[in-house]
Amino acid sequence: MLTVGLNSCPNSQSFLIQLPPEIISQIVDYCPSSSILALSNVCKSMQEVGVRSLYRHLSFTKASRFLKCCYALIRNNGAASSVRGLQINLVDRHILFAFFQILATVLRRLHNLQCLEVLHDGPGFQWALESCYFPHLSLLRTRLPLTQDLINFLSRHSSTISELHLDGQSSIFTLSHVPITLPNLTSFTGNPGFVRFIVQRQDKPRLSSVHMTSLNIMDLEEVEIIEAMKHLQDVAGETLRTVTIVGSGFAGPLARHASNYLTNLKVLGLMHLSFMEIELFSTEQLCEEVKLLLPNLPQLQRLIMGRMHSVSTQTQTLDFAEGHKLVVEFSSICPGLDFVCLPDDTEWNRIRIPNNGSSYFYIWFPEVSQFSVASAWQLLDILCAEGRKYPSWLSLLKLILKEAVGKWYLNEARENASNSENGPDIQESIRTAIETLLNEIDKRVEGN
């Protein structure tokens, strides 16, 4: 192997600078901020590269730190033109008006901004946005209420916004304004009450996902929910494939009417929101409610369930036998399902297995990372019972379990070896356990 030191090359100091700018930018992107700062002091060319990397995506939670960056953006045209993403999530609740004056000055300089997130509901932010226009803005996420100022901002960017997140707590029914047309909108997140105002028919249908996750989602009247779901089906039924819903349980009006009208969904996300302990539905109860929704969704491929708690609580975890029974029941209702995440966060994938030439059969298999010692043996019983129907599956079962369970045991061995003086003994016991499991698989394969 021929090794050439950088210092032995002619003009070695300019070697890095002579690389294509795209290559230099990719290299710098892998460096920590401290290294980029040091690199920026090497020469003018490296300073330009460092500025582009440091200011590409900005995120702030403190007003004082943000103001320091604002001064740099005002003084340095290169820094301002480098900003592609800006997130403002300030913990300060009381901000002086002078801050918004500086913010407005800075925002007007960000001509290449593509993603803007204002995760604060202070009215001063609307004033700062009032005279701004970003020619390349594609994503807007804000907790600002949907007032006339924000509507005007959306109208100015109607031709560029493709992802819109409106988490504000206002209602559109108090607004006297025509609906906003966003011809390139692909994803909308917010209160379903905003749907009829924001989501309109597109010349080239693009809207593929709607996430109804605003915190005041449960304040809507049922008639408003029905009108919103009908509207979605009318204007986006051809392209809408993903819907996420937050609610107390999965049998509420929003989930029911979404399944009634949006029958072409491929992905359904359901999030149970608990504010008090009495609202902690059991996993079995949530799954029973889901079964009532599935008959209306024959095209469904992915079902994702979860929980959101206002207080720390312990979620009931199903064993693999219970989880397997549930996902099999779901797939019997929706034959196209190939992925299910249960409310206890266990994930199941449906695997297609060849059987006798061109035919196939399917079997549900849990995420490997969720294995435990006890569940591995339980899973072996489940899969062997399924596999007896299809002898060709049993040999493949051995390979899958050998790799999956083997990885789990080995990861546990490494963790215990680093935290215990008895590491070698633990590793030996794990090897023995793996051999025992594989021998049991061999016996069952031979028995069938």
- Any idea which residue has 């060319």 for tokens? 45
Q: Which of 341, 334, 267 is nearest to 304 (CA)?
A: 341
8 A C-beta contact, residue 111 and residue 128: no
- Residues ≥6 apart with Cβ < 8 Å to 114: 84, 85, 134, 136, 137, 138, 139
Name the pLDDT band for 58 (thresholds 50, 70, 90): confident
Q: What is the pTM of this model?
A: 0.78
The pLDDT tens digits of the residues spanning 96-111 come to 888 888 999 999 999 9
Cα–Cα distance for residue pair 115/85, rounded to 1 Å: 5
The domain locations on the chain are 11-54, 241-345, 356-448
Cα–Cα distance for residue pair 39/307, rounded to 1 Å: 45
Point out which residues pair with 308 in neighbouring strands: 273
Residue range 241-345, CATH number: 3.50.30
Q: Using a pLDDT cut of 70, give the percent of the chain over it.
A: 64
The pLDDT tens digits of the residues spanning 160-179 come to 999 999 887 665 545 556 78
115-118/139-142 β-pairing:
parallel
**34 CB neighbour count, 10 Å cutoff:** 8
> How many residues make up the chain in this entry?
448
**Mean pLDDT, residues 360-371:** 73
Q: How many contiguous H segments (helices) and E segments (strands) does the chain have?
A: 16, 13
The pLDDT tens digits of the residues spanning 398-442 come to 666 666 666 666 666 666 655 555 555 656 666 676 677 667 766
